[in-house]
Amino acid sequence: MNIKFTVNSSKLSDLDVQALSLLGQSLENGQGLARDYAAALELFKLAGAAGDKDAMCALGRFYLRGYGIRPNLEEAAQWFEKAARKGSLEAMTSLANILSQAQGEDVKARFKAALRWYRKAAEAGDPEAKFGLAKMYFYGQGVRRDYKRAGIAFLELAKAGFIPAYCYVGLNLQHGYYFDPNFEAALNVYGLGANYNDPPCMRQLGIMYEEGLGLEQAYNLAIYWYKRAAAAGDAIAMERLADMYECGRGVRKNRKKAQELRSRLQAGRK
């Protein structure tokens, strides 16, 4: 579409700003219009400069995912924070997601901020924020590790149909972190998640088949699930699949294929 907008954002009415933001969403999602990230970005910049929280959140999303612009994590975080301070639940959770992956000297401060935003969004009912908060308790990020609190939250989310929580319910059952160890129940939960094409659940099924946990060891089925999870971008599945090719477990030994998988994995980490 190659649209270039030159509107004075300081003179826009609230309705004008909302209209720009809605049009940007239509262009972003291809709803009623051909998808055009560059044009959507221009609209979101205008609406964001005028103070629209949805446009600010969209700008964070564009910088995070590289829609029509080079990805920039710090820029994404700044826009998410602006939108979060205006009450955007999506922005609160997205900002917390970025902060929870922090590394380096200021990791403690970032974890603390992530917890604050997750809690605020979770209290408002956002399931992704509840999930993020549960993971921080599960891994002990910025808080004392609490498998009970995390396990209860994962179970509640899974019962409510939040698919990413299925894998964590399964992990709790597989390893006995909070629930009593139960391989059969873990397999059932992973299977439910795999039915929804959840990559971690598919990967965990692969691990169960590879190691013979709660069922007969079956390398061919392990490879099947690793391939599906790896195709969906699961890094652990990709690494384990590479190991299978490297060692020739359930498949003809193929070191070239193993190296290709590891190269893809490294490229994805850059």
Looking at 83, 101, 127, the residue that finishes a domain is 83
Torsion angles phi and psi, residue 194, rounded to 5: -65, -35
The pLDDT of residue 1 is 47
Alpha helices in 66-126 (DSSP H): 73-85, 89-100, 107-123
- 220 domain-assigned: yes
Looking at 50, 83, 116, the residue that finishes a domain is 83
Q: Are residues 169 and 269 in the same domain?
A: yes
The parent domain of residue 205 ranges over 158-270
Q: What angle do CA 268, 139, 180 make, to 5 degrees?
A: 120
Distance of CA 154 to the CA centre of its chain: 15
pLDDT, one tens digit per residue, over 32-71 is 899 999 999 999 999 999 999 999 999 999 999 999 999 9
The pLDDT of residue 269 is 66
Which residue is it, tokens 């498998």? 147
Residues of the chain with pLDDT under 70: 1-15, 269-270
In angstroms, the CA 219 to CA 211 distance is 9
pTM over 0.85: yes
Q: Are residues 107 and 174 in the same domain?
A: no
In angstroms, the CA 172 to CA 157 distance is 14
DSSP letter for each residue of 169-222 = HHHHHHHTSSSPP-HHHHHHHHHHHHHTT-HHHHHHHHHHHHHTSSS---HHHH
- 31 domain-assigned: yes
Here the CATH number for the domain that contains residue 66 is 1.25.40.10
Q: Are residues 172 and 252 in the same domain?
A: yes
In angstroms, the CA 202 to CA 58 distance is 31
Neighbours of 71 (CB within 10 A): 12
The pLDDT of residue 115 is 98
- The number of distinct structural domains making up the chain is 3
In angstroms, the CA 19 to CA 37 distance is 17
Q: Are residues 173 and 267 in the same domain?
A: yes
The pLDDT of residue 4 is 53
In angstroms, the CA 172 to CA 194 distance is 17
Tokens representing 179 are 């629930």
pLDDT, one tens digit per residue, over 228-262 is 999 999 999 999 999 999 999 999 999 999 999 99
Q: Are residues 165 and 270 in the same domain?
A: yes
